[in-house]
Structure 1
Amino acid sequence: MSISHYIEYIKCERKYSIHTQTAYEKDLLTFQQFCEEQFEVSDIEQIPYSIIRSWVVSLIESGKTNRTVNRKISVLRSYYNFLLRLETIKVSPLRKHVPLKQSKKVHIPFSEKEMEQLFEENHFEDSYKGILQKTIIEILYSTGIRRAELISLKMNDLSFDSKTIRVVGKRNKERIIPMMNSLELSLKNYIEATKLNIMYEPKSFLLQTEKGKILPENFVYKTVNGYISLVSTKVKRSPHMLRHSFATHLLNKGANLNAVKDLLGHASLAATQVYTHTSIDKMKQVYAKAHPRGTEK
């Protein structure tokens, strides 16, 4: 069973995004190349765990982090589980593999003050591109959606009547996100600019370049990184950090963890709980004020 069959499976059956498909295929082909070069084995279906272990060692020696190595092995495990379901193999070579220990990654979100400063000082140009870039950042921060979800938004995903946005997330799961008043105004302003600059179609992608094309992923990243750098000195300034900030600021204001989970489109609370640790300073303040022996009076 070739790697291409597996990629077709995660595309058609699992509904993985094109980004995920590409990443999985790259990891599998890299592993296959390693097997050919180091062990003269081209068929990776029937291999002993010792070869996989050698690959793990080589990845670590090349400077890959434990997190990255675990992710690559996770792809390999998924591939062998696929072969098991098809009964191409009887036992997965990874059945006894133990993931490498990895430290928890701490994300430092942008502060509420930094985000307020960005919009209040209006760093955005009064042009179609400037309006587009402001809309990109406002949607990401106001809804917490992923970059891929942002890019795939359609005009008809917006409902100004109910003030909601329909988002299609991972594995084609849909969720409805409330549209705040500030975001509603920005979206209406952007749509007016769209009608003046590019061909407007209700079924077309919401966010489009000046030439009416779908947004490149890199354009979104550069937009967020560039504008956030004007108000923040934090090293990591990616679209995902706006999602992280969205969740953290909601939790800081007392939002229910389950509600934040649903807004983010997480399958379980475990995925959402990674955002709670950044609220520790807020919890300390509440504790200090509320507890009889607290230091704040």
Structure 2
Amino acid sequence: MTFNLSKLQLEESRNEVIIYDETSDIAAYKQFFISLKLRGLSDRSIQLYMYNIDKFNRFIAKPFKEISTGDIRTYIAHRTLIDKIANSTLDHERGVITRFFKWLYEEDFIDSDPGKRVEKIKVKKRLLESFTQQEVELLRAACDDVKKMMVLELLLSTACRVAELVTLKMENYDVDGGKISVIGKGNKERIVFIHSRAKMFIDAYLEKFPHKFGPIICGGDGIGSQMSTSGIQKMIKTIARKAGVEKAYPHKFRRTTATDASNHGMKLIDIKELLGHSSAETTLLYIDSSKNDLKAKHEKYVY
């Protein structure tokens, strides 16, 4: 057996103290994600940021200060022509990368912002589907226990995201007022409403699983445990399969509630507030939502 050592380079072992550089790329990288956490982004959102930035950094392989607008465009071209990803995904990645470099520039880690002139990716808007009224009734009829009925009616009544639904707590539930507070995206609190049908099934569920504290919807470990988002998703798929309803998932109930409310005349600003969205800025310019009784409108428009 022969070993070729001609290219082997030996270096003297050193025990020098390495000084931590607060202005280094690693420090900047860590501080960016700390800033995202302080802004209230969820762990999942931060992980997606990290995944996309890491992927870009591996492709470009340059110090942050040396990265140019052309480098970012080259990466986007590679993702388009070689990886052939959808424009919606591509624009999301572009947004993550440009926000990262904007933050680096504003925090004085780099001298100029290479993402400032990177063009947005044109994304074709598509209509998001909602359930028909007939499909909603089929889903209701397919629920074979009180927990499934409660989950379905809570999704329709509150228009909660599935991650919000599983965190609804008894101590935040105003039974007499028919409302409950929820923490949404960006760590923002809002009030969602429980219509009479949802309340009826909550009451029936609490008779079987009585509790005054902790998650309303109990997880597999019983009272006090929280059901997982994947558990809710599997539940909806099971109900939909029995009902013969295709393309059923929790978020579709959110769209259904918004669509039904709009069809019954609820204003866009009220729907926006109900869903906890941060968009519809143009509408906010000339509609004063502070004078709206959102609870009354919920009872009138959401069934």
TM-score, with length taken from structure 1: 0.78
Residue 159 in 1 paired to residue 174 in 2? Answer: yes
Q: 2:279 — aligned with what?
A: 268
Native 8 Å contact 1:45 1:80 kept in 2: no
Native 8 Å contact 1:59 1:69 kept in 2: yes
For 1:63 and 1:234, how far apart are their aligned partners in 2? 28
Native 8 Å contact 1:3 1:28 kept in 2: no
> Does the residue aligned with 1:190 lie in a helix, a strand or coil?
helix
For 2:195 and 2:90, how far apart are their aligned partners in 1? 40
For 1:211 and 1:271, how far apart are their aligned partners in 2? 46
Q: 1:14 — aligned with what?
A: 39
Residue 207 in 1 paired to residue 217 in 2? Answer: yes
- For structure 2, the 5+ residue unaligned runs are 1-26, 284-303
For 1:114 and 1:74, how far apart are their aligned partners in 2? 37
Matches within 5 A, 1:28-177: 28-36=53-61, 41=62, 43-44=63-64, 46-61=66-81, 62-119=83-140, 121=141, 123-126=142-145, 131-177=146-192
For 1:271 and 1:229, how far apart are their aligned partners in 2? 41
Native 8 Å contact 1:49 1:93 kept in 2: yes
Q: CA RMSD for the aligned pairs?
A: 2.3
Q: 1:220 — aligned with what?
A: 232
Letter in 1 for 2:226: I
> Who wins on radius of gyration, i.e. which is larger?
2
Native 8 Å contact 2:135 2:245 kept in 1: no
For 1:23 and 1:263, how far apart are their aligned partners in 2? 27
For 2:86 and 2:126, how far apart are their aligned partners in 1? 12
Q: CA 1:136–1:26 in structure 2 vs 1: closer, same or farther (change >3 Å)?
A: farther
Native 8 Å contact 2:159 2:253 kept in 1: yes
Equivalent pairs counted in the alignment come to 255
For 2:41 and 2:137, how far apart are their aligned partners in 1? 35
For 2:282 and 2:133, how far apart are their aligned partners in 1? 23
Matches within 5 A, 1:188-199: 188-195=203-210
List per-residue Cα deviations over 1:55-77 (Å, max 9, x = no partner): 21222231311110101111112
Native 8 Å contact 1:3 1:25 kept in 2: no
Native 8 Å contact 1:146 1:240 kept in 2: yes
Letter in 2 for 1:74: G
> Does the residue aligned with 1:268 lie in a helix, a strand or coil?
coil
TM-score, with length taken from structure 2: 0.77
List per-residue Cα deviations over 1:120-151 (Å, max 9, x = no partner): x2x2333xxxx333322221121111122112
> Does the residue aligned with 1:93 lie in a helix, a strand or coil?
coil
Q: 1:254 — aligned with what?
A: 265
